[in-house]
Amino acid sequence: MKRRYFLTFSLGLLVSCAANRQTSDDTTPVDNTSVAPLKLAISDVQGLEDLKRDYEPFRAALEESFGKSIEFYPVDSYTEVASALQAGAVDLSIIGPSEYVLIRARTNAIPVIGITRPNYHAAIALPPNSPVQSIPDLQGKTIAMIKVGSTSGHLGPTDMFVSAGLDPKTDYQVKMLGREGSLAALKNGAVEAWAGPITDYEDFLEAEGVSPSEFRLLAKGPALPSDVLIVNSRMKPEEVENLRDRILADQESIVRALGFTTANKSKYKASTLIAVDDQDYDMIRNVYRAIGEGNFL
């Protein structure tokens, strides 16, 4: 019940956007030939100082590529990104796959470019001496995950369980324990399995000095959908195409700038920029439906 409450609360913050969706879609398109700068929001970084620290090289590279001034627009969460898009206060934003699906449902934001992430997979690992041999063996068991709505720490693993024939609403229990807490539960044998990003599992093995045979990897999921650069649905179609073409043409310098800072090095250093389609995120939508939250889509 607690898990569902937090997810419903988070998604519920977007409901107010839905009431204004049609109004937003019918407003005057953004005029990108004007001198007004474009506003860039990053959903997982709070405060202007941190935005500059983590994303200034990217902002500057994007500005040079697009040939138009771009300024940061600080937000506290992806729900604020949705509200700012509705209000016309934000023109561009980098968001994760889960955030994209929820924001797209409320704002019609346009996906422009996908940003791949190296080794971006969900995984399921087991504590020492576990008798579990396959995902269906985890029926009735307790699973440690990271955060409600996280692509790699909740939705990706859930997709693995669903694909194996388990119902996430009834067939197993989830404890959302954060990155450190979930791995601690795995280490201490407090849960029957851990599910989260494969990179967290690999970092855990290295930090603890233990072998994969001790904390066995039960399964590694398929590559997760890319992060995505979205633009406001008010932007003119020709400007969206222009932005996409320029970014792809300048991919090398933009990726280098994106992965330059300490905060983004592990996440984006080996990234590529790819054309992306809304259907690429249907896996996320399917998982939301599987956990009983399809009404928010």
Report the CATH number that the domain containing residue 174 is assigned in CATH: 3.40.190.10
- Determine, yes or no, domain membership for 11: no
Do 99 and 233 lie in a common domain?
A: yes
Torsion of CA 269, 64, 228, 100, to 10 degrees: 140
Tokens, residue 249: 């043409």
- Residue that is last in its domain, among 203, 223, 243: 223
Tell me what pLDDT residue 33 has.
53
How confident is residue 4, by pLDDT bands cut at 50, 70 and 90?
very low
Average pLDDT over residues 222-238: 96
Do 214 and 90 lie in a common domain?
A: no
Tell me what pLDDT residue 100 has.
97
Do 211 and 65 lie in a common domain?
A: no
- Angstrom distance (rounded) from CA 28 to CA 39: 17
Tokens, residue 133: 């041999």
The DSSP line for 132-186 is --SGGGGTT-EEEE--TT-IIIIIHHHHHHHHTT--TTTS-EEEE-HHHHHHHHH
Nearest C-alpha neighbor of 17 from the set 101, 103, 92: 103
CA 74 to each of CA 23, 62, 63, 170, 240: distance values in angstroms, whole numbers, following the listed order: 24, 17, 17, 39, 22
- Residue that is last in its domain, among 188, 223, 258: 223
Do 97 and 110 lie in a common domain?
A: yes
Give the CA radius of gyration of the chain: 20
Tell me what pLDDT residue 8 has.
44
- Angstrom distance (rounded) from CA 40 to CA 180: 31
- Determine, yes or no, domain membership for 30: no
- Angstrom distance (rounded) from CA 191 to CA 266: 28
Do 132 and 209 lie in a common domain?
A: yes
Do 83 and 200 lie in a common domain?
A: no
Q: How many distinct structural domains can be found in the chain?
A: 2
Average pLDDT over residues 117-141: 98
Do 269 and 152 lie in a common domain?
A: no
How confident is residue 22, by pLDDT bands cut at 50, 70 and 90?
very low
pLDDT for residue 28 is more than 50 = no
How confident is residue 11, by pLDDT bands cut at 50, 70 and 90?
low
Helix %, strand %, coil % for the chain, to 5?
50, 20, 35
Tell me what pLDDT residue 34 has.
55
- Determine, yes or no, domain membership for 15: no
Is 246 within 8 Å of 62 (Cβ atoms)? no
Average pLDDT over residues 207-228: 97
Q: Which domain holds residue 106?
A: 38-117+226-296
- Determine, yes or no, domain membership for 23: no
Do 138 and 219 lie in a common domain?
A: yes
- Determine, yes or no, domain membership for 268: yes
How confident is residue 296, by pLDDT bands cut at 50, 70 and 90?
confident
- Angstrom distance (rounded) from CA 195 to CA 290: 17
Do 82 and 216 lie in a common domain?
A: no
Average pLDDT over residues 75-93: 94
What average pLDDT is seen over the chain?
90
Tokens, residue 81: 């990104």
**Does an H or E element contain 121, and which?**
strand 121-125
Is 291 within 8 Å of 7 (Cβ atoms)? yes
- Determine, yes or no, domain membership for 208: yes
Average pLDDT over residues 215-242: 96
Do 184 and 153 lie in a common domain?
A: yes
Average pLDDT over residues 162-171: 98
- Residue that is last in its domain, among 223, 248, 272: 223
Q: What is the pLDDT of residues 63-80, one digit of tens each?
A: 999 999 999 999 998 899
Strand-pair category, 193-197 with 142-145? parallel
